[in-house]
Structure 1
Amino acid sequence: MAQSQVLNWSENGQDITTLDSSLATDVISSTMISNSEEGLYRIGAHNKILPGIATKTVVSEDKKTYTFTLRQNAKWSNGDPVTAQDFVYSWRRTVNPKTASQYAYIYSGIKNADQISAGKMNPDTLGIKADGKYKLTVTLSKPMEYFKLLMGFDVFFPQDQKVVQEYGKDYGTTSSKMVYDGPFKMTGWKGTNSTWALVRNDHYWDKKHVYLQRINDQDVKSTTTGFNLFQSGKLDMAVLSGQQVKNEKNNSKLVIRKTSRLNYLEFNQKKVPALANTKLRQAMSLTLDRKELVNNVLGDGSVVPHGFVTNGLATDPTTGKDFATENAVAQSTAYDNAKAKKLWAEGLKEVGKKSLTLTLTHDDTDQMKALSEYVQGQLTKELPGLKITSIELPYKNRLARETAGNFELVISAWQADFSDPISDLGIMTTDNSYNFGKWTNSAYDADVKTANNTTNQTTRWNAMSDAEKTIGTEEGDAPLSQNVIAQMLNPKLKGLVYNTAGLDYDFKSAYMAK
């Protein structure tokens, strides 16, 4: 190993929004939380389940009761022991409607979670209990084949009740108003700044296998700036875009990473009732040539999506085929201007309008600027009577506006939390907190409910298949591109774990080689 174990990392247009695992909704916040905190399991390379705070797991015969034995040498960075009660407190806090966690829905399947989230039962009735300091029992309302993967996701991490209550509403708003039980501790994040660091946590139970002493991180919005910083040795990783990727295609330091992240156009049907018209949404989607978009506009290795569930996320256990390919609805990502114009005219007539004036909100990163310029240009060029004004915002502000429903059209992005189609499909049900555009379809809701509640694998996959076909046919949103991450990477960085779903980067075992 190199004498200096310092890594200089960067983000491309993404700032942290919170370090509170009950409230985090974005990839960068979750990445920082997942490297500075730890749950029952860690998710290793290729989504392998690895020990975290749990040393032993016993599953009942009906697969509805999990009993975890916790390690007794796990500590928070303030020296407090990590106990079973820390999990009980955290989970109850997250599903409590007063917390307003957008991820409370992912607890569905744990006993009483749905009723608690709906305000119909007390959080104390959640199916989790501490049997002493180091034994935790979780009771499910149904078997969940992906339950162990969920336990490696940050919304299920423990919280030190004493610290949460000490900081109150300020908990997680800065790196100093937090406590950490993971490989690293956050430092230097004051809530709004774009630079921070992860430093090795000397209270971590497995600190002898944490090699990096410090990870300096910063938000670099311009890929040109990032590339120049990499070239000058000031960054060990820099994200590239478009022409840069083509320029560096023969560079051994270029790494192209597949992702489960989908960029899509979301229509706010609550704010603009006309967008509830299926023909208008279909017309907008049909004006977009995704091959042109990924190959010539983005040019960074992004691929054409088949639908809302991303390519390569999951394989049908019966057929062995990729779920996205097997259930693709051709029209969902087709390019047909003639058909678009026809549907547009019919849709306008149905809603009693001759024209529409809309805003398109998007991030201020290079990729999102390119996406929005293409979408805006195509829609206004091909659809008579449509005017669009662009609203460009920093990532954090766009996310806040989208969450509040303060948009008309928005270029959004979603990355699966675990390697199963339901992680994508679940967010577009009528009552899901991530369904910002308020698209609603009763058949879709019923299929997702079936998938969430059945114990029959064939029934489950058939229901998810039907749901994917419904959202594709109805154009509940318009898939644009499936991301890859093109980056320049210092070849001395070894041991980094990367997964396409859930936690992107796990730095626990990473190190700088000589």
Structure 2
Amino acid sequence: MTLLVVGGLAACGKSNSSSSSSTKLAADQSVKLSAKSEVTTLDVSKAADSTSLTMLYHTQEGLFRLGKDEKLINALATKTTVSNGGKRYVFDLRKTNHWNDGKPVTAHDFVYSWRRTVNPKTASEYAYLMAGVKNFDQIQNGKLAPSQLGVKALGDYRLEVTLSKPVAYFKLLLAFPTFFPQEESVVTKEGSHYGHSSSATAYDGPFKMTKWQGTSQNWTLVKNPKFWDKRQIHLNKLNFQVVADPATGLSLFQKKSLDATTLDGTQVANLKNNPNLKTYVGGTTYYMQMNQKRVKALKNLKVRQALSLAIDKKQLASHVLRDGSKAPLGFVSQNLTRNPKTKADFARDAYVKQGVAYDLPQAKKLMKAGLKATGTKKLTLTLLSDDLPGTKTVAQYLQAELNKLPNVKITLNSLPYKTRLSRSNAGNFDLVISSWGADFADPINFLSLMSTGNTNNNGGFSDAQYDAAIQKSENQDANRPTARYQDLVTAEKRLMTQQGVVPLYQPATVELWNAKVSGYVWNPAGMSRGYQWMEVHQ
């Protein structure tokens, strides 16, 4: 996703679930939850915001689902066969799942859905996740018809996918709603209304949505009697309401009108000893991009290193944000993925101290040397950021830190998110605070961003050694897990050694949960919120 959408990202390590106070289930299996924004669409091909994708994840069923610690669980896929050097996948499908109208879910529904998503006329924001599927690029460019996509039904319950090259993380992608099936007859019948109300949508997942008319502030998920695994679904109802303000959320939680609520920094400080407090960190990084195309001095390594060393990231996380956020170990977040052999956290294997350290005296020396080398007497830079309260606070902190450097003056420009993003993408900035949340649990989802020419590489970082490591991981080592992992470690270390970006912090989501509710699964990447296996205890 462009700048992360999966809302509520961010456990101090592994995914975890809220604890329960009893082993006996309550008679009333319903929960009251909040969302930060409205649902915009239930169209699998078009959903791109956190709330909509989370609702699709719980009302639809794909080939796989994410369990604890990003573990892939078979959903509609019962068997997966990989051949042709990792380029051909054949999935045997369950024959027991049905759409809510009673029709069986078949391989044809996947074929239809994927072709619809990659069709340029659909304008799917998440179509790029299918880039590894054969003929994707030619279809997006209008050179081939969507029917030429490398996906085929080998009968009603066998699906074949052909990739253009091996994609090591392909199965992880399949747990994302963009890859879920769609019922063609319903899409056709509803036309432009498809996905814009709960009644104009087909469901094949654990729940169905009700009471949603397209702009509702409240909606409900109810247990789907047609779902193949309905016996494992204990919740009968999930009632949602939009709650954007943490103070309102806490008040509703204390009144027992919500079973969970997200806290802000002040609330976290006041409630840090509450036993029902849950902290989730991982999968997202906030970082500062430096525009090497626009500012001559920023092409100098010493200048970039000085900017990084002047920022105390630990202070930022613990004393400015105060919400459980963590100082980064690098660009790729912690708790995302692990060494295939040692199980060590990737972020620790690839850690470069200089890339995230705080050393103001050294920063001052480097800045003086860097400015001299570039013939710059005074470096005046504008730091671009979103105008949200939290981001503005971070920007003000960075300004104060960076203004301690000799002959450096930082001014601030805070803009609405869409405006800021537009300027970032156009390269219209000196420095900018950006963020990225992983769509799937693999370092490449971060590291590909900084490849030469990547549309998200707004600062114009370009390094041949870095690009070579990325290319090696995606090509000759794609089917060699250990070698590929090392390629990505090499890339991360190179990015930090060359200070291609300045990692700032890993955000946290801190929540209060009703102790009687258990089974909530959180993951750092992709669909972070898992309500499917929740249950209410007495």
User: Into which bin does the TM-score normalised by the smaller protein fall?
Assistant: 0.7 to 0.9
The separation in 2 between residues aligned to 1:182 and 1:10, in whole angstroms, is 20
The structural deviation recorded for 1:291 is 0.9
* Aligned residue in 2 for 1:73: 96
> Residues 63, 14 of structure 1: CA spacing in aligned structure 2 closer, same or farther, 3 A cutoff?
same
| Range 340-349 or range 468-477, more displaced | 340-349
How far did 1:315 drift? 2.3
Q: Which residue type is aligned with residue 446 of structure 2?
A: D
Q: Which runs of 5+ in 2 are unaligned?
A: 1-24
Q: Distance in 1 between matches of 2:352 and 2:174?
A: 33
Letter in 1 for 2:409: L
Question: Which residue is 1:506 aligned to?
Answer: 530
1:194 and 1:403 map into 2 onto residues whose CA distance is 31
Deviation at 1:137, TM superposition (A): 1.0
Q: Tell me the equivalent position of 1:301.
A: 324
Contact 1:361–1:407 at 8 Å: present in 2 too? no
> 1: CA distance between counterparts of 2:238 and 2:178?
23
Q: Conserved in 1, the CA contact under 8 Å of 2:290 and 2:432?
A: yes
State whether structure 2 residue 156 is matched by structure 1 residue 133. yes
The aligned runs of 1:238-277 (5 Å cut-off) are 238-267=261-290, 272=294, 277=299
Change (3 A) 1:89 1:450: farther
- Residue of structure 2 in register with 1:416 after alignment: 438
Match of 1:44 in 2: 67
Counterpart in 2 of 1:490?
514
Secondary structure of 1:328's aligned partner: coil
Matches within 5 A, 1:326-475: 326-341=349-364, 344=367, 346=370, 350=374, 354-362=378-386, 364=388, 367-380=390-403, 382=405, 384-391=407-414, 393=416, 397=418, 401=422, 405=426, 408=429, 409-435=431-457, 437=459, 439-453=461-475, 454=477, 455-475=479-499
Q: Which runs of 5+ in 1 are unaligned?
A: none
Q: Which amino acid aligns with 1:427?
A: L
1:116, distance to aligned residue in structure 2 (A): 4.0
C-alpha contact 1:230 1:237 (8 A) present in aligned 2: yes
Deviations 1:247-272 (A, max 9, x none): 323221112233222222345667x5
5 Å matches for 1:171-320? 171-172=194-195, 175=198, 177-187=200-210, 195-267=218-290, 272=294, 277-279=299-301, 281-320=304-343
1:431-460 residue CA offsets vs partner (Å, 9 max, x unmatched): 545445554444433322221122233431
Residue of structure 2 equivalent to 1:88: 111
- 1:106-155 CA distance string (max 9 Å, x none): 33443333454455544333221012222211123444443322221222
Deviation of residue 343 (structure 1)?
Answer: 5.0
Q: Which amino acid aligns with 2:204?
A: D
Shift of the 203–386 alpha-carbon distance from structure 1 to 2, 3 Å rule, reads: farther
* Deviates most, 470-479 or 293-302: 470-479
How many pairs were matched up? 509
Whole-angstrom CA distance in 2 between matches of 1:410 and 1:217? 35
Kindly tell me: are residues 386 and 143 of structure 1, through their superposed partners in 2, closer, same or farther at Cα, counting changes over 3 Å?
A: same
Distance 1:121 1:61, change over 3 A: closer
* Separation in 2, partners of 1:309, 1:99: 32
Query: Relative to structure 1, is the Cα distance of residues 176 and 229 closer, same or farther in structure 2, using a 3 angstrom cutoff?
Result: same
Q: 1:305 to 1:476 in 2, by over 3 A?
A: same
Kept in 2: contact 1:67–1:136 (CA 8 A): yes
> TM-score of the superposition, structure 1-length normalised?
0.86
Structure 2 residue aligned with 1:58:
81
Distance apart, 1:237 and its partner CA: 0.9
Q: CA deviation at 1:369?
A: 4.5
**Bigger relative contact order (CA 8 A; separation at least 6):** 2
Residue 5 (structure 2) aligns with: none
Matched residue type, 1:140:
L
Distance 1:206 1:239 in 2: 30
Deviates more, 1:46-55 or 1:95-104: 95-104
Q: Specify whether residues 186 and 404 from structure 1 end up closer, same or farther in structure 2 by C-alpha distance, changes over 3 A only.
A: farther
Moved more, 152-161 or 112-121: 112-121
Q: Which moved more, 1:51-60 or 1:399-408?
A: 399-408
- The structural deviation recorded for 1:316 is 2.2
Is 1:159 paired with 2:164?
A: no
1:169: how far off? 6.2
Q: 1:263 to 1:186 in 2, by over 3 A?
A: farther
Q: Distance in 2 between matches of 1:32 and 1:143?
A: 31
Aligned-residue offset at 1:463: 1.8
Q: Which amino acid aligns with 2:235?
A: L
C-alpha distance 274-370 of structure 1, shift in aligned 2 (>3 A): same
Q: CA RMSD in A?
A: 3.4
Q: Are the structure 2 counterparts of residues 213 and 439 from structure 1 closer, same or farther at C-alpha, using a change threshold of 3 Å?
A: farther
- SS of the equivalent of 2:412 reads strand
Contact residue 95 and residue 116 of structure 1 kept, 8 A:
yes
Question: Structure 1 residues 341-350 or 242-251, which shifts more?
Answer: 341-350
Cα separation, 2, equivalents of 1:190 and 1:443: 52
Q: Is the 8 A contact 1:427 1:435 kept in 2?
A: yes
- Which amino acid letter does the alignment assign opposite residue 93 of structure 2? L
